[in-house]
Each structure stands twice: as C-alpha cells, then as structure tokens.
A and B are shown apart, each in its own frame.
Chain A
Amino acid sequence: MKQLFIFVRKEFYHVFRDRKTLLMLFGLPIAQIVLFGFALTTEIKNAKIVVADYSKDIVSKQIIDKIDASRYFDIEKSLMSHDQIEAAFKEGKIKMAVIFPENFNKNLLHTNKAQIQVIADASDLNTAVTLTNYISSIIGDYQQQMVKNVVLPYRIVPEIRMLYNPQLKGEHTFIPGMMAMIMMLVCVMMTAISIVKEKELGTMEILLVSPFKPLMVILSKFVPYLIISLVNVTSILLLSWIFLHLPIKGSILLLYAVSLLFIITSLAIGLLISIVSQSQQSAMFGSLMATMLPTLLLSGFMFPIENMPLPLQIISNVVPSKWFYIIVKDIMIKGSGFGAIWKETLILVGMTVFLLIISLKKFKIRLE
C-alpha cells in the first residue's frame, strides 16, 4: 500500500512538472465549454430585426414587446418604409423584418384573421429558418394567451413542444458529449503515453525486475488520471451550471458513479493502446484514432445516429462513448433514475470488464 502511494506520488510529479500536459488536462474542459457552449451553438442569439408597425394597436404592441423580450432578437425600431427595410437587408444590417399591416387588430377582431408579414434573409438559409421558427413560436405563444381570455371561434393551433429542452438550448446536448470527449482524451491518451514513456525510458524494465507487482504498476498509472478526470467532471458540471445555466435534473451521485465507470473504461483502453504501441508518438496517434474520432462521429453527440447508414449504426454500438453519452443525457436532461439507464450501464460495464481482462492479460504476457 505504501509502495502504491509512493508510485502515485511520482505520477503526480510527472503531471505537475509538465506545464503543457497540465494545461491540457485542466485547460481543456474550460476551452471546450467556451468553444461548444458559446461559439459553436446552433441557436441564434440577438439577431437584428426590424419591426414595422403600421397598425400601432394594443395587440401589435403586445406582440412586439414579446419579441423584444426574447433573447433571440434585437429590434431596430428606427426603420419604417419598405425601401429602407430592403436597403437594410441588402447591407446585411438585419436578418429579418416583421411587418404589422394597418388595421391589424381590427381585422383580428372582425374577421378572426389577421396577417403578420415576416420577411427573412434566406441567403443564409439555416438562420432564416431558425429565426422564422422562433418568431412563429412567439406569435403562437401569444395566441394561446389570447385564447385563455377571449372566446374565439374554433381553430386549430399546432402546438409544438420541445421535450426536455423547452428553451431549445443547444448546450444541453453538448455538455454530455463534451464530458465523454474530455474523459476519453485525458484518460486514454495520458495513460497510454505515460506507460509507453516508461517503456521508452527503460524504467519499465526496472519496475518489472523489482518486487513491485505489475498489477500495482497499472493501478498506480490509473489512480492519478482517475482523480484528474473526476476533477474535470466537476469543473465541466460547475462551468456549465454557472455559465450556461444548465441544471442537473437527475441524481448527481448517479452521474458521478457512471462517470467513474466510464473513466475506468477509458483507462482500460489507454492501457490496451500502451501495450501495442512502442513510442509516445504512436501512443498519441493511436489514442486519437481510438477515441476522438469515434466519440465525435459515432456517439450521436455531433451527428444523430438514426440518420446514419445501417453499417455505421451497427458500428456505433461498440463505441463506449455512445452509451455514456446516452446515459449522461438521460440523467442530466431528463432526470432519469437508474431504472431508466440500467441497460446502457450494463453494456458499459460489460465493455469495461472485457477491455480490462484483455489488457491485463496482454500486460502479463509482455513480462515473460
């Protein structure tokens, strides 16, 4: 036990002496949160729009207030004429124009039908579609409020409800994916490199000649990165809670338990890579290939798996990050308990045990 402590302490010396590694280990989560949370979101915030109100009645005023209150739009009120609006579009000053025709409220009251013209700059198609969706939902919202107060003739209002993510926050799905990616990167790459480094330096031979057990060598390599990864999980959750206002709906304890499991999976993969690679470079390359690519492409984090061709869908099942991503999403966003995720967890446990057995066996063979 004391030997283990001495070894783990040595591993921490390695980590803390190497500034670059240290920066990668602890700076990565922060950089990723900023990148994915703020820069890379698919949602649009503070889009500049023009509202031309030719009616100036209570209803139009209320709707405009509602639009103004949403964080998706910034209203530039100064423009009025059609010509000015067109000029603003051409100059790229605005993304969308919302026009209330004259007698808007009157029409609504008398004919039960009123129109709002929404013009969007479709040269950027995705933005245009997203913005018009936003505006339709704001208007729909307002209509619902009206229905409550006034008895209107029977009409069908399509109600779209975004389950689990009513505010359509892009960060919701990014955080679990990011957790998977960071843990994979840290555990797999760092473990693989630190073991291969000992092989390269020849210190591994000394360790194997010493009475120190090979199993203990592996354990000592695991402990530091396990601790660092738990710190990273905590910092990701804290950062996303503070800056992205993302609450954790499910049990935090369960989330940590699953993270711990996934960390062990990653460590086992790292060990396996360290066994097959002879140099630090090949360990690094192997880790990137084995973790980053599958996590990015096949975990469902960037691209929905349901839309992939069948062979890829099948392959995605052997990617541990896919299962971890599903579990974390369920716990964090849906607030699921263990009852809802036991299947995925079991798969992950199976993978971990399998990887550990293989790598431990292979590691032993190397000693002979």
Chain B
Amino acid sequence: MQQPVIKTELLTKRFGSFTAADELTFEVYPGEIFGFLGANGAGKTTAMRMLCGLSLPSSGKATIAGFDIYKQTEKIKQNIGYMSQKFSLYEDLTVIENIRFYAGIYGLSDKEIKAKSNNLLDQLGLQNEAKKLVSELPLGWKQKLSFSVAVIHQPKIVFLDEPTGGVDPVTRRQFWDLIYDASDKGLTVFVTTHYMDEAEYCNRISIMVDGRIEALDTPSNLKKQFSANSMDDVFYQLARGAKRNE
C-alpha cells in the first residue's frame, strides 16, 4: 500500500462549546479523487480549512503530503492548491494576467510562467480570450480557469471547496473531465460537494453528519452497505439523523 498523502487522526475543531469538526480520522492516497460530502453546516468547510492551514485545529493530528499541519505549514503550502466556491479570480484582470499573477505568487520563474500560461491557454482553448477581462467570461470558463490556476504550481494535492456551485450539468461534467485528467497525472483531489451525482465520480467518499464522519468508502460499497440504489438514498439515510440545520 502507498503512503497516504493526507492522514488525519481525531482531528477536531471547536468554536467555544460548538464542535464543528469532531474527531475526524481518514486517509487519502496519491492520485485519488476523494469526495467530502455533507449537508450545509456539517463541518466540511471547517475540515478543509484545517487541512489547508487556514485554520488551526483544536486537537488531533494530521499530515499533508507528509508534513505536519502544526509545524510545517510553509512546506504544506508549497504542496497544495486550493480553489474556493467563489472561483477566486480577479474580474478586472485579463485571463493571462490572472494566470501570471497566481503563477507569480507561487514563485514560478519568468520562463516557467510563460511556458505554463501558454500551455494552459492551449489546454483550455482560451488562446483567443487571453486578453479579455475575466468578468467577460462565462461561468463555466471561469471555473475551469480557476481550477487550472489552482494547480499551476503542480501541487501534490488540490482542495476544491464546492467547485461546481451554480453551473449547469453539462459544464459540471466538463469540469469533472478536467479533474480526471489531473488525477490521471497523479494529482490527489480532495473535493467537497453536495451534488450526489458528483459523488459517483469520486473514487472514495466520506459523508459528514453533524461534524462527524458517518460513512467512508467507495460509492458502490456505500450503496451496498446501505442497500440503496443511488448515492442520494445513502445520503438521505445518513442526513436524516442530523440535528444541525444550516
């Protein structure tokens, strides 16, 4: 078995008396697409923020790409990419300026930036739009651009926080093609979502309810385990017990 690229042990985050993430223990392996599911307020984002180094855990252990999340945050930062649900592009900058900016703050050299941005534009078919402002792009393209920018420095893991919110199913499908491509090249993808059809695209998924991981397995195993026809069913069976709303 390979070394896990994400490994957590009893990872917990409390805000006062409220436990947002409760003793999370799981492992994610290289090249895996790991789905992180849960209703709104189940603690997905809190968990992801801890793994990205945006928020400090209250207790528990975790390593990302082999680095400790308490002590080696700088090392972790070089090895992860992050895409938020807001797409996080600068609307008043052009496509190429956005690419160059993000490549630049990750410390890529001028040569690399040039090669990378050219590559990226080709890959996304955005060569003609390179000088257009991002605000003029359709949502689907922004999303693809946002993902490509998040992995421009070739990280080991990319965290996607509800990356497909607000886009139509066709665009969503295209976006997943992009994720598969990246995963084929060895990138580990950690994705939160609440679209159940997307859950089926993942290699393994975990379902969070009220801050705890209630289920963790491949989609087909989970369906068997809960004797359900679809991931929707599995999710409803688990989420019905939730006490928190929103």
Asked whether any CB of chain B lies closer than 8 Å to the CB of A148, the reply is no
Stretch of A92-100, A201-209, A266-274, A350-358 contacting B (4+ beta carbons < 8 Å): A201-209
A-B contact pairs, 21 of them (CB 8 A): A2-B104, A3-B105, A3-B107, A7-B101, A10-B101, A13-B97, A14-B92, A18-B92, A201-B86, A202-B88, A205-B54, A205-B82, A206-B102, A208-B54, A209-B52, A209-B81, A209-B82, A210-B102, A210-B105, A211-B77, A211-B107
Please determine whether B107 and A206 come into contact, CB atoms closer than 8 angstroms. no
Q: Which of B81, B87, B92 contacts A202 (CB 8 A)?
A: B87
Question: How big is chain A's contact interface, by range?
Answer: 20 to 34
- Is A242 among interface residues, defined by CB-CB distance under 8 A? no
Using CB atoms, name the residue of chain B closest to A7. B105
CA distance A201 to B92 in the complex (A): 12
For the complex formed, measure the closest distance between the CB of A308 and the CB atoms of chain B, giving whole angstroms.
44
**Contact partners of A7 in chain B: CB under 8 A:** 101, 104-105
Would A10 and B55 count as touching, CB distance under 8 A?
no
Asked whether, in the complex, the Cβ of B106 is within 8 Å of the Cβ of A201, the reply is: no
A368 beta carbon closer than 8 Å to chain B = yes
Contact A210 B77 (CB under 8 A): yes
If A2-B104, A368-B55 touch, whether A206 touches B92 (CB-CB below 8 Å) is no
* Interface size in chain B (residues, C-beta < 8 A): 32
Which of chain A's residues 313-368 have a Cβ closer than 8 Å to chain B? 367-368
* B88 CB contacts on chain A under 8 angstroms: 201-203, 205-206
Q: Does any Cβ of A come within 8 Å of B181's Cβ?
A: no
Q: A13-B97, A202-B84, A368-B55 are in contact. Are A209 and B77 (CB under 8 A)?
A: yes
Task: Using A3-B107, A13-B92, A18-B92 as known contacts, say yes or no to A209 and B102 having CB atoms under 8 A apart.
Answer: no
Whether A209 lies near B54 (C-beta < 8 A) is: yes
B100 part of interface (Cβ distance < 8 Å): yes
Residue B167 at the A interface, CB < 8 A?
no
With a CB–CB cut-off of 8 A, which chain A residues contact B97?
10, 13
Contact, CB under 8 Å: B106 / A14: no
The verdict on B78 contacting chain A, using a C-beta distance below 8 Å, is yes
B35 to chain A, nearest CB (A): 20
Is B102 touching A14 in the complex (CB atoms < 8 A)?
no
> What 1/0 flags go to B61-100 for Cβ under 8 Å of A?
0000000000000100110111111111111110001001
CB under 8 Å from chain B, chain A span 91-130: none
* A17-B92, A206-B83 known, 17 other contacts, Cβ within 8 Å: A6-B100, A7-B104, A10-B90, A14-B90, A14-B93, A201-B86, A201-B91, A202-B86, A205-B54, A206-B102, A207-B105, A209-B77, A209-B80, A209-B81, A210-B106, A212-B106, A367-B54
Given contacts A208-B54, A211-B74, contact A6 B86 (CB under 8 A): no
Residues 31 to 72 of chain A near chain B (Cβ within 8 Å)? none
Tell me, yes or no, whether B56 is within 8 Å of chain A by CB.
yes
B41 within 8 A of A: no
| Min C-beta distance of B153 to chain A, whole Å | 8
The answer to whether B84 touches A205 (Cβ under 8 A) is: yes
Contact indicator B54/A6 (Cβ below 8 Å): no
> Which of A3, A7, A18, A206 has most B Cβ within 10 Å?
A206
Complex: chain B residue closest to A366, CB-CB? B54
Whether, in the assembled complex, B53 has its beta carbon less than 8 Å from a beta carbon of chain A, the answer is yes
Q: Decide if B82 touches A206 in the complex (CB within 8 Å).
A: yes
Given that A205-B82, A367-B54 are contacting pairs, would A3 and B104 also be in contact in the complex, using a CB cutoff of 8 Å? yes
Whose C-beta in chain A lies nearest to the C-beta of B150?
Answer: A206
Q: For the complex, give the distance between the alpha carbons of A2 and B112 in Å.
A: 14
Q: Which residues of A contact B53 (CB under 8 A)?
A: 208-209
Chain B residues 103-130 with CB under 8 Å of chain A are: 104-107
Q: How far is the CA of A206 from the CA of B104 in the complex (A)?
A: 13
**Interface pair B93/A13, CB less than 8 Å apart:** yes
Binary flags per residue of A210-244, CB closer than 8 Å to B gives 1, else 0: 11100000000000000000000000000000000
Cβ of A212 and Cβ of B105 under 8 Å apart? Answer: yes
Are B85 and A202 within 8 A (Cβ)?
Answer: yes
A-B pairs, 9 with minimum CB distance: A202-B86, A6-B104, A209-B82, A212-B105, A211-B77, A202-B84, A202-B88, A17-B92, A368-B56
